[in-house]
Amino acid sequence: MRDLLVQLLGKDGRRVMELKTLSNAELFERWRRELGFRYRTERPRKEAIRFASLFERFLGGYPPSANLAKQFLSGYLDRKQNTRAGYYAQLAMFMKWYGDPIDDCRVSPAEEMPELVDSRDLDRIEEAIRNRKTHKKLIQRDILLVRTLRYTGMRRAEAAHLRVCDIDFAGRMLMVRGGKGCKDRAIPMLDSLMTEMQTYCAAKQREDLVFGLKDVSVSGLVSIWAHKAGVPHIHAHSYRHFFGTELARKGASARAIMILMGHKSMQTSQRYIDLVADDLRSAIDRLSEPQARPEGTDTGKAESPTIYDFQVAGE
């Protein structure tokens, strides 16, 4: 009877039946091995393993179930929505694999607008790096790092994992390997950035990391220089927002932004275009400011300064 049932259930059904017979220790050990196949990069794999261990500890010997999974998630209701969405995605992946999905309590990421970054703040950071007083040999690396983030839109982990062999100097192309969602993508490089990169990598081996930094070190380095430059609100991801916004300002389509930035959906890319539209609308709103009074009609009351003239680019 069992053999007949196994045949009727198919491959997935047989797997689920087998999982139900395992102890939690055996089950979660098998899941940890499974995560090794699902993630190509170390950082998200470690985070997934950490979160699975928390769920295993919560179960305390009881077998996993949809109800227990939802109780576990309820312990994170005080976290930010994007954090809760990430936890839900991790647990939903496990429960689907286990054969007891929890689709009825889906948590979606917050639809936040990208950060609007002033290019002058990024310029200040580069200037601060150039003016460093000690460890001057690191100036070239740090300048190249922030310029790479600025003109490629790479995530901090992607920049940390960039190897010399991922750069096509002849084709002026940079390959991102194993980006978010384990996806590769190609990013064309500006001539100036390509020249700087070629000079910096001249003495390196093909398999060498370009910057020789870990993910957290990239964030820490940007934060240090941002504080020294007097722009502490700038962080590593600010460069990615700047890249997407500049693409939108230059007329790039949502599809082009999606491909270059490695977004999962075009809806995310469209937000950069919407942000630019809002930015332009705020400028147009200034047209409704009070007009200057003709000479000789001074009422004697002090007025706030207003802007009367608008110069169109190119005129």
Task: State how far the alpha carbon of 315 is from the alpha carbons of 42, 168, 251, 281, 310, in Å.
Answer: 52, 39, 20, 21, 10
* Nearest alpha-carbon partner for 64 in 34, 90, 95: 95
Asked if residue 289 is part of any domain, the answer here is: no
Domain edge (last residue) among 105, 133, 149: 105
CA distance 308 to 261: 38
Q: Note whether residue 300 is domain-resident.
A: no
For the stretch 71-91, pLDDT in tens is: 999 999 888 888 888 899 999
Is 296 part of a structural domain of the chain? no
Distances (CA, A) of 225 to 148, 216, 232, 260: 15, 14, 8, 26
For residue 5, pLDDT beyond 90: no
Q: Calculate what percentage of the chain has a pLDDT beyond 70.
A: 84
Number of domains in the chain: 2
Whether residues 89 and 146 fall in one domain: no
Predicted pLDDT at 302: 44
Is the domain of 152 the same as that of 27? no
Does one domain contain both 130 and 63? Answer: no
Residue 294 is predicted with a pLDDT of 56
Does 259 lie in the same domain as 187?
yes
Report the alpha-carbon distance of residue 226 to residue 15 in Å, rounded: 51
The partner residues of 175 in beta bridges, in order of sequence, read 186
Tally of CA atoms within 13 A in the half-sphere of 268 that contains its CB: 14
Mean pLDDT of 19-38: 91
Among candidates 266, 247, 226, which has minimal Cα distance to 151? 247
The residue-averaged pLDDT of 255-272 equals 91
The predicted structure's pLDDT at residue 314? 38
Residues 290-311: pLDDT tens digits? 655 555 555 454 443 333 333 3
In-domain check, residue 172: yes
Q: Kindly report, residue by residue over 198-229, the tens digit of the pLDDT.
A: 999 999 999 999 999 998 999 999 999 999 99
How far, in Å, CA of 117 to CA of 126, rounded? Answer: 15
d(Cα 141, Cα 146) in Å, to the nearest integer?
Answer: 9
The answer to whether position 302 is within a domain reads: no
Structure tokens at 213: 């930094």
Domain that holds residue 193: 119-282
Residue 312 predicted with pLDDT over 70: no
CA distance linking residue 74 with residue 84, whole number of Å: 9
Mean pLDDT of the chain: 85
Query: Are 176 and 43 within one domain?
Result: no
